[in-house]
A and B are shown apart, each in its own frame.
Chain A
């Protein structure tokens, strides 16, 4: 866990609305966890009443269920099918439209108005995922302007995880459970026999300005100790079980095992349905579609999330480079854990476990990693 130098404050749990209202006052639309159709997703939050208070998520490979908690925790769950990428790299957006004119065609870019958003309840693995997408879209020669605009205007309220889902493996990927990247505000929810409060710390000037407006009191060392214990609990939950593995050598491992028959074994189970890439907070692929209307006078270009699990994804003249599931799954896993390092100097996986829970047939990336490790002959 990183050293916590910034001063910590206490916000009683029944004052959580003050945070939401201050963010709204500052011009942000607050988005955060809400329950929809028996899952916790990210959507607009008007007040603390919208949060999934008293609920938790039970997750396993191919399985997700909401359960009532014994307490009234606001953030007593982990991650669901949504990630913040839906607000930064939109699932689908129009890029431009074009019209035929007397002397050619006229192209008009489509620039949607961007509302500044405050993300309430960003987990540590999710901060890492956003940082990874930043490298993809904002570093190097080519930038994604739409992403840049959206990214610049967000405010992040990060939450330390005090419990882990069975699918979480951030400790194996070194991305959590304690918040370990910059954010505007960092909070930890503490519930014990007679208290329910949040520990707060600001991580930026913007965060400081919000913090100043809240009915907080300085935290004591006892409070900080409770925080430490709570986060340790999440860490401890992840220290045993099937999702603990050494991630330091995955790149070489996968390159060595390009022809391992395990790929064909996975392909027997994999549906090449693309759910894993859709729910992954770092997967960044998109396709652009150009369409015309019947008259041919009007054309539009749309961008939408794409996945290496489709045939169209690797289509070049004459056919698809990856016609079968074996090659598609290999592309996915090798990109996430190996080639991503070469491309962006980081892993493409933050250990959030979404691809495990939301795979309709429960294919588990950690289980497969371990199988490669076990069958590996270096």
Chain B
């Protein structure tokens, strides 16, 4: 899904919709953002029946569910099956975080040989049953709303939930971090300090935290709509003198497998091979 414009909730609404929160391959950080909502969590519990949320309670009510929130990426055959079952039981399915939206940091394996990794790390690599790639939930099932971020911003999560409960469009703009940067009054670290910054290709949502502390954005919210990674990295190389390591560490982190970033990082590798 591209652009917040396409995303709108208009489902039939029940008195107490049933919510389930699911975990796949992930660090739990995004689910923690939900737990971190403390005060609002009580309000939420008045509006929604939290039927399945292992991180918060051992209570497990069977599906179907009105709303499923999914964290994590698909890295095993079991997970690939489980997400199908969850989709079948869920009227609306929302994914949260970089793992679910693009495969997460564990998608670095997509650029390498996973067998080699397992043989280096595990004493008995034959016990490891894992897929060659880590993939986004939307590669497997239809997703109704993608909330990006690593971790997600809890205010944005509450906005999505409020929008769901009130059957309206979530106010989650898909534009650049630069817009948040300027609205916040930050000084541009790229222009004024010469620091490489991913803000111009990165999805807004964090409130431009890194530039506010004089650091370049490293793209943890993943690509914005209509990103131009090629032009940005060209400028870094020609005007800021960025080396391959800088380019790779920015385009290959928690959103490495997002197409707009992956295509670009593969180009760096290709260019490097050509040089050799």
Contact = CB atoms under 8 A, between A and B. Distances in A.
Contacts of B190: 62, 360
Contacts of A278: 178-179, 182-183
A38 B192 contact: yes
B183 A304 contact: yes
Interface stretch (A119-127, A185-193, A289-297): A289-297
A17 B234 CA distance: 47
Contact of A279 (B47, B159, B182, B197): B182
B44 A275 contact: no
Nearest to B169: A290
Nearest to B204: A310
A26 B227 CA distance: 50
Contacts of B3: 311-312, 315, 320
B89 interface: no
Contacts of B158: 294
B226 to A, nearest CB: 5
A271 B201 contact: yes
Interface string B218-230: 0000000111101
Contact of A319 (B5, B201, B227): B5
A52 B239 CA distance: 28
A170 B260 CA distance: 39
A361 interface: yes
B169 to A, nearest CB: 9
B185 interface: yes
Nearest to A86: B185
B166 interface: yes
Interface string B172-194: 01111011001101111011111
Given A273-B176, A292-B166, A312-B5, A41 B191 contact: no
Contact of B5 (A82, A271, A315): A315
Interface string B136-177: 000000000000000000000011011101101001011110
B71 to A, nearest CB: 20
Contacts of A304: 183
Contacts of B76: none
A305 B173 CA distance: 13
A91 interface: yes
Q: Name the interface size band of chain B.
A: 35 or more
A195 B208 CA distance: 45
Contacts of B174: 310-312
B113 interface: no
B187 A36 contact: yes
Contact of A360 (B166, B179, B225, B232): B232
A289 B168 CA distance: 12
A262 to B, nearest CB: 16
A310 B187 contact: no
A357 B46 CA distance: 51
B40 interface: yes
A293 B239 contact: no
Contacts of A269: 228, 231
Contact of A274 (B2, B178, B187, B201): B178
Interface string A250-278: 00000000000000000011111111001
Interface string A64-99: 110000000000000001100010000110000000
Contact of B165 (A36, A296, A362): A296
A296 B46 CA distance: 12
A4 B197 CA distance: 47
B252 to A, nearest CB: 20
Contacts of B200: 271, 273, 275, 360-361
Contacts of B232: 271, 360-361
A39 B226 contact: no
Given A312-B4, A361-B235, A323 B226 contact: yes
A334 B161 CA distance: 40
Contacts of A359: 191
A341 interface: no
Nearest to A38: B192
Contacts of A64: 188, 191-192
Contact of A81 (B168, B188, B214, B226): B188
Given A271-B228, A307-B179, A311-B174, A91 B185 contact: yes
Instruction: Please give me the 5 A-B residue pairs with the lowest Cβ-Cβ distance, nearest first.
Output: A278-B182, A273-B200, A271-B200, A37-B187, A315-B5
Given A294-B165, A360-B188, 6 more contacts: A268-B231, A269-B231, A273-B200, A290-B171, A311-B226, A360-B197
